Structures are given as structure tokens and as C-alpha cells.
Amino acid sequence: MTVLEVIQRSAEFLAKKGVESPRLQIELLLAHLLKIQRMQLYLNFERVLTEAELEKLRELVKRRAQREPLQHIVGSTNFCGLEFLVNRQVLIPRPETELLAERAWKFLHDRGEVNANPSALDFGSGSGCLAITLAVKCPAAKVYALDISAEALAVARENAAKNKVLERIEFHHGNGFSVLSAGGKFDLIVSNPPYIATDEIATLEAEVRDYDPKLALDGGADGLGFYRILAQEAAGYLAASGKIMLEFGEGQADLIKEIFQKQKWIVEAVEPDYSQRLRFLIARRA
Ligand SMILES: C[S@@+](CC[C@H](N)C(=O)[O-])C[C@H]1O[C@@H](n2cnc3c(N)ncnc32)[C@H](O)[C@@H]1O
């Protein structure tokens, strides 16, 4: 069977199984298997696959048809131009979170005028995508990564080593701020906390519902539990004129703004994602 025939047949199969963008998915799987760029497939449409290659591809396609995310099958994903290992212990970094990372590293760069070695806390670090990106983009910054999942922290450490910033990040394991030493102050607190309402988790796409860790999704009865904690407790860990930058879910903007304003935060901005949906909050103390 040729590359083109395999792509066409597998795309049809994946479409029947409810996989979104089936043609793109099979192209990415095949490129991964053949260790070439996806675009190179187009120059090799007539190439005949060996029986061994077909056998391996069948296995990968079967996994994707069972709705295992592509990133788990290939074992990594790209975030802000860096490579991150991912598995079932960590949320797969999402493209929109790159917007939060960019906001955060710009703030840390500017903060250099106030503090030559600004510090940043990533609350709920998961794969480490935010903490590691900040450490890479801001060589002067000291970064702290906090997560309740020891398994996620192990992945984050691996990712930090892979991106050569392991020694610049301090990892903390535990439930929220309680594991940080009192009095510690950060120039920036950044977080993409769990924000799905518990009952909504069952309604999510299979790739998310069955493969992202529940701990990374579950934001409590109304999905806003972590924002209440952050609004109440983060001020005690923020340096003077420091900022908090958060991601939240679609439709949560007004509620989250209210939660922060009630706790005496000054909301500086609520910003949209690539689809113009409000998804990010930037706030500071008076
Ligand atoms: C939505 S994921 C975000 C991961 C990563 N920052 C990202 O943007 O891809 C939320 C993370 O918060 C962690 N988490 C959940 N409850 C927590 C808690 N009580 N204290 C600290 N971290 C927690 C989860 O383990 C998960 O890694």
C-alpha cells in the first residue's frame, strides 16, 4: 500500500470513530512513524510502505481510534517552540496557554527594572509548560513550580532537564500554597488551574475526559474553587506591585472578575484567546 492510500483509508477509519481532523491526525502519526516532517509525506505519496511499517502504523491508528490523544501516542508536544514530554499524569499543554506564557514572560522582562532577578510561581504546574517556558525565556528569573501530583512533578522535572533549566526551577509538592514557606514573595504568580465543574467532566471529549488527569480538570462543583483559593491566598505571596495572571474557562470571565474584586484585587485586564473568547485575567493588589 502507498503512503497516499494509507492516508486515505486511515482518515476514513478515524472519521468513523469520531476523531476530529482525521486526515491531519493520520498524517502526523505516519510522519512520526517514518521520522519525517508531515510536509515530506506529500513528496512521498507513491512510496510503498513495508509490511513492518504497516503493522506498526495499524497499532498507532488503533490507539488513536480509541481516542487516545495524538500527543500521548507520539509522547510529546510543542509549547512556545519548546518540546514537552506528556503522558497520562499531566494535562496536555494547550495552544491558548501559550498566550498566558507570553504575557507572563513579557511581565518578567519588564520587571527586571524593579528586580534584577524576578521570581515567578506556577501554581498547578502539570507538565511544567508554563514554569519551564518562563525559565527559558527569562534567564534572570527564579521560577517555582507547585503541584499536588507527585507524578506530574516528575514529568515536569524531566521536561525542565530536557529544556536545560532544571537548576533554575524549585519544585514543590503539595496542596496549594500550604507547602510554600510563609513570607515567600513572588513578583508573578501564574496559573492555569483546574476549572471544569465536576459534573461537566463526563460531557467532555473522550480525549480529555479519559486521558487528561482528573486532578487537572476538576475545579469543584461550579468549576471556580481554585479561583476562590487564589483570590484569598495569593496576595500573601505576592511582592509589592507584583501581578497574578490566570487562565480560565469560556464563560467564566465575569464570575472570576467578581471573585477577585471581592477580595480587593484590582483587575487590570481580562483578555481573549485566539478565538476571541475571554480566557485570561491579570490582576494586582492596590
Ligand atoms: C489544568 S492543569 C495545568 C497544568 C499546566 N500548568 C498547563 O497549563 O498545562 C492544573 C494542575 O493543577 C494541579 N492541581 C490540582 N489541584 C491542586 C492543588 N490543590 N494544589 C496544587 N496543584 C493542584 C493538577 O495536578 C494539574 O497539574
Residues 127 and 207 occupy one common structural domain = yes
**Which amino acid does the sequence have at 137?**
K
Residues 40 and 102 occupy one common structural domain = no
Q: Is 97 in the pocket of ligand 1 (CB under 6 A)?
A: yes
Q: What pLDDT, in 10s, does the model give residues 164-182? A: 999 999 999 999 999 998 7
Residue 75 inside a domain? The answer is no
Q: What pLDDT, in 10s, does the model give residues 70-104? A: 999 999 999 999 999 999 999 999 999 999 999 99
CA 249 to CA 113: how far, in whole Å?
33
CA 99 / ligand 1 centre spacing (Å): 18
- Give percent of the chain above pLDDT 90: 97
Cell digits of residue 37: 516532517
Q: Which of 103, 149, 273 to mutate to test the pocket of ligand 1 (most atoms within 8 A of CB)?
A: 149
For residue 185, the SS3 value is: coil
Q: Which of 215, 218, 226 to mutate to test the pocket of ligand 1 (most atoms within 8 A of CB)?
A: 215
Residues 228 and 260 occupy one common structural domain = yes
* Neighbour tally for 282: CB within 10 Å: 18
Side by side, the strands of the sheet bearing 278-285 are 169-173, 142-147, 119-123, 186-191, 238-247, 278-285, 265-272
Range of the domain at 61: 3-66
Among the candidates 51, 66, 81, a domain finishes at 66
CA 229 / ligand 1 centre spacing (Å): 13
CA 193 / ligand 1 centre spacing (Å): 5
Among the candidates 14, 35, 66, a domain finishes at 66
Based on the structure, what is the number of domains in the chain? 2
* Three-class DSSP labels, 37-96: CHHHHCCCCCCECCHHHHHHHHHHHHHHHCCCCHHHHHCEEEECCEEEECCCCCCCCCCC
Residues 46 and 98 occupy one common structural domain = no
CA 34 / ligand 1 centre spacing (Å): 34
114 pLDDT band, cuts 50/70/90, is confident
* Neighbour tally for 214: CB within 10 Å: 11
